[in-house]
Amino acid sequence: MAETRTKTSKDQDPMFLSLILSLAQAALVCLGKMKGQNGDIKVDLDQASLNIGMIRVLKEKTQNNLTKDEAKSLSSTLKDLEVHYTDEANKN
């Protein structure tokens, strides 16, 4: 039986957005922009790249299957992460 999900007021699937935000948060931790679970700041560009890559794959695989707001949120999140990644990569 398929699970019924309710859309938010902006017609976005909260589970999809939660997935994107979870991957984005993991990328930000790996980029040293957020503290990790143990409270430390550590940069791991390889892991950050992996998390960003997963978001990129989701964008490609869900193309033409998202609401305008979902697509905008996904694109915006991806662009922000790519800027953070580039900034951090240029430091090293």
pTM for the structure as a whole: 0.84
Is 74 within 8 Å of 54 (Cβ atoms)?
A: no
Tokens of 79: 């662009």
Question: What confidence score (pLDDT) does residue 12 get?
Answer: 76
Number of H helices, E strands in the chain: 3, 0
pLDDT under 70: residue ranges of the chain? 1-11, 92
Query: 């990129």: which residue's tokens?
Result: 56
Quote the CA–CA distance of 2 and 81 in Å, as a whole number: 33
